[in-house]
Chain A
Amino acid sequence: MHVGLQHYLAVSMILFCLGLLGVILRRNLLVIYMSLELMLNAANLALVSFSRFNGKLDGQVLVFFIITVAAAEVAVGLALIVALYRKRQSAHVEDLTSMKL
């Protein structure tokens, strides 16, 4: 079977939807966070496949940027989650409702 662009994009879309569902449905902050990473990587996969099939390097350069930014984001985000956990003894979104009316 010949593997074409649409297969890669299908995988990427499935990954993205999985991540999105995770973000919307899961209650644990860490899991939500990992789902976010999954969505980013789905985007990376799509970019790499476009780059490969178009014969240009632009997409791959963008992927490097995304990985770098994601790394920085993970550092900050994890620190926030740890700090939050220390303060509230919980990492569940239901417990973080002090903004609610």
Chain B
Amino acid sequence: MKYAYLPWLILFLPLLSAAVITLFTLRNKTVSSLISIGAVAAGFVMTVLFVSANGLHPAVSETAVSWLSIGNLQVDFGLKLDALSIMMLFVVTGVGGLIHIYSYGYMHEDESMARFFACLSLFTFSMLGIVLANNFLMMFISWELVGVSSYLLIGFWFEKPSAGDAAKKAFITNRLGDFGFLFGILMVWGILGSLNFSVLQDKVAGNPAVLGCFATLAGLLVFCGAMGKSAQFPLHVWLPDAMEGPTPVSALIHAATMVAAGVYMLCRTLFLYNAEALQVISYIGGFTALLAALMAVQQNDIKRIIAYSTLSQLGYMVMAVGLFGPTPAMFHLTTHAFFKALLFLSAGSVIIGMHHEQDIWKMGGLWKKMPITSKTFLIGNLALCGVPPFAGFYSKDSILAQAWTQHNYLLFGIGVLVAALTTFYSFRLFYVVFLGKEKSEAASHAHESPLVMTAPLMILAVFAAIGGFINITNNYGSQDYGSKFVGEHEQLSIGQQLLEPLHSIGPMICGLVAVLVGWLIAKSLYSNVSSDPLPAKLGVLATWMKNKFYFDEIYEATVIRAHDLIAAISGWIDEWIVEGCGIGFIRGGTNLSGRMLRHLQTGNLQTYAFIFVFGVAVLLYFVLGK
């Protein structure tokens, strides 16, 4: 393997950048941002170099140094280099790099821009850690680091109470998932005696029944981690609130990379899951997709609509993994990173143009005022809806085709319904924001953003347009996902990839009809309106959608109440049993004897002299007197 040191550099450059910014250049905005952008851009260049030298399947797929050796626990600090991780390297450094550049423009007015870039670099390091990890422990550590940097970035404007609350909510919800993840890891280690992915894969492939009766449980516990990070039902509540962070953060962490980490982890550990676990995973994914799409229909905050669509698309990916389809899942993950980052960044550009207004019913008529942003937004929208030949069409179609070929018609139906809903709310957003009349003073004074923000938009727009047929599926399809998933994919040329959806014509037609229906409804309802006509038509259902099906309220009433109750009981036990009887007894005894003994210390010199002499006399009596 040539350039074996490059992956290490790619991994550690962002960490170095975060450290340098925090320690030395916190006062200087420009230098800090350039260091951070440089680190991730260098990472991208090195990824290209590494792939051009070694290809997607390097001869040596792991490079490791021994890190921990306790008893029979051997943990390496190692990097896994195969098609899966290298393609993710492209996504993280490429899309991440563009978002870094965009942030330079977006955050330019902010006083603490240096801190922002330090956190961004820390995040990039942690995300690369997840992608490159060759064992569960290293992945878990990076997993937690990603949680920390997400916490720091959501709460970046910590002077706003809502941002602080959202950061805490995201962190704690993720902790719940990570708790299960940790248990899953411990269970796998306890049964199989190793944490290394390749070793585990060999063991499971050699004897599929090696996990015994724990197979389903271990798989589902590890899936808990993905449930938290990828915001799957029932832990989906944190992602919409996370939009309190700056928009580039929403694009990088809560659309393109971090939330995709759960799906990536599922693909990385695919060998662990048996059929039952995969079935649960697929239904959770499908349910999340439907639920989030329904919620998105009645939101009025531009970023929240995109956040719910992210949830829904993540549901798609998880569903695809559950349907024995890691390749469609990773394909959709990659195209989603392109078009969702594009949508978020375009939304950010709109927000800046509107002077920090996020309510879509105060926008309108921006098509002419923001010529570049509106066009990139449209491309992102078309890709999200799955209009051919944009990227989303190919990846979404591959997921629908996967459900079709697995004969899971319920999930296929959900997928088609979600596709229709996606188109509906996307074009609702588009019609209300960019077309029609200006609905506020700010909208009539909106202006286009500077080039440093629009240039990344244009680059991402190109990828959102052509991402569907530039060899992405081939690369993911060449990955060895374990014995259950081998040998389904042949290499295709670009022309063949363009026409790939024609192989399963049924799903393609259903998907296209769904898109058409969604668009027609959105067009008839939302062209040239100044307020939302839907609540009058749907009645109670619209209120439910708008209030996110009252999940926050339900959690407030059940989980948080129960938690408060447990806390109160623990508090009582601590106060009366532990403190009162246990510690109180010892403390009281010490106190009492102290009070008694202190009377010996009179503070009178002559008393001491007398006691001293008396002592000497007693000693003399015993030594000499007998």
Interface residue? A25 (CB, 8 A): yes
CA distance A99 to B602 in the complex (A): 9
What is the CA–CA distance of A8 and B496 in the complex, to the nearest angstrom?
A: 127
A88 to chain B, nearest CB (A): 14
Tell whether B68 is near chain A: CB-to-CB under 8 Å.
no
Closest-by-CB residue of B relative to A98 is B603
Contact A100–B610 (Cβ < 8 Å): no
Contact of B604 among A20, A23, A25, A97 (CB under 8 A): A97
CB-nearest residue of chain B to A26: B606
The reply to whether the CB of B590 lies closer than 8 angstroms to some CB of chain A is no
Decide yes or no: A101 and B598 within 8 Å by CB, A20-B613, A23-B609, A24-B613 being known contacts: yes
Distance of A100 Cα from B604 Cα, bound (Å): 8
| A62 interfacial contact with B, CB 8 Å | no
Contact with A101, one of B603, B606, B610 (Cβ below 8 angstroms): B603
| Shortest Cβ distance from B605 into A: residue | A93
How many residues of chain B get a CB closer than 8 Å to chain A's CBs?
Answer: 10
A80 at the interface (CB under 8 A from B): no
Chain A residues closer than 8 Å to B601, beta-carbon distance: 101
* B-side interface mostly: helix
Q: Which residues of B contact A24 (CB under 8 A)?
A: 606, 609-610, 613
Do the beta carbons of A96 and B613 come within 8 Å of each other?
A: no
Nearest CB in chain A to that of B599: its residue: A101
Residues of chain B with a CB closer than 8 A to A25's CB: 606
**A23:B606 contact, CB within 8 angstroms:** yes
Contacts of A100 in B (CB 8 A): 602-604
- CB neighbours of A23 from chain B (8 A): 606, 609
Flag B589-624 by CB within 8 Å of A: 1 or 0 each: 000000000100111111001100100000000000
In the bound complex, residues from chain A placing their C-beta under 8 Å from that of B604 are 93, 97, 100
Taking CB atoms, residues of chain B closer than 8 Å to A32 are: 606
| Residues of A contacting B: mostly | helix
Closest Cβ neighbor of A29 among chain B residues: B605
Question: A1-40, CB under 8 A of B: which get 1 and which 0?
Answer: 0000000000000000000100111000000100000000
- Alpha-carbon distance A25/B609, docked complex (angstroms): 10
* Cα–Cα distance between A24 and B605 once the two chains are bound (Å): 9
Contacting residues of chain A (71-101) with chain B, CB-CB under 8 angstroms: 93, 96-97, 99-101
B610: chain A residues at CB < 8 Å are: 24
**Residues from chain A with Cβ under 8 Å of B606 in the complex:** 23-25, 32, 93
Q: Shortest Cβ distance from A91 into chain B, in angstroms?
A: 13
Q: Which residues of chain B have C-beta atoms less than 8 A from A97's C-beta?
A: 603-604
Specify the chain B residue showing the minimal Cβ separation from A97: B603
- Taking CB atoms, residues of chain B closer than 8 Å to A96 are 605
Q: Which residue of B lies closest to A20 (CB)?
A: B613
Q: How far is the CA of A99 from the CA of B605 in the complex (A)?
A: 10
In Å, the complex CA distance between A93 and B603 comes to 10
CB distance from A42 to the nearest CB of B (A): 14
| Complex Cα–Cα for A40 and B91 (A) | 92
In the bound complex, CA of A32 to CA of B604 (Å): 14
Determine the distance from Cα of A93 to Cα of B601 in the docked complex, in whole angstroms: 16
CA distance A101 to B360 in the complex (A): 73
Q: Are A99 and B603 within 8 A (Cβ)?
A: yes
Q: Within 8 Å CB of B609, what residues of A?
A: 23-24
| Min CB–CB distance A30 → chain B (angstroms) | 14
B419 to chain A, nearest CB (A): 83
Write the residues of chain B forming the contact surface with A, with a CB cutoff of 8 angstroms: 598, 601-606, 609-610, 613
Nearest first, the 9 closest Cβ-Cβ pairs linking A and B are A100-B603, A24-B610, A99-B603, A97-B603, A24-B606, A93-B605, A23-B609, A24-B609, A20-B613
A-B pairs with beta carbons under 8 Å apart, 13 shown: A23-B609, A24-B609, A24-B613, A25-B606, A93-B604, A93-B606, A96-B605, A97-B604, A99-B603, A100-B602, A100-B603, A100-B604, A101-B603
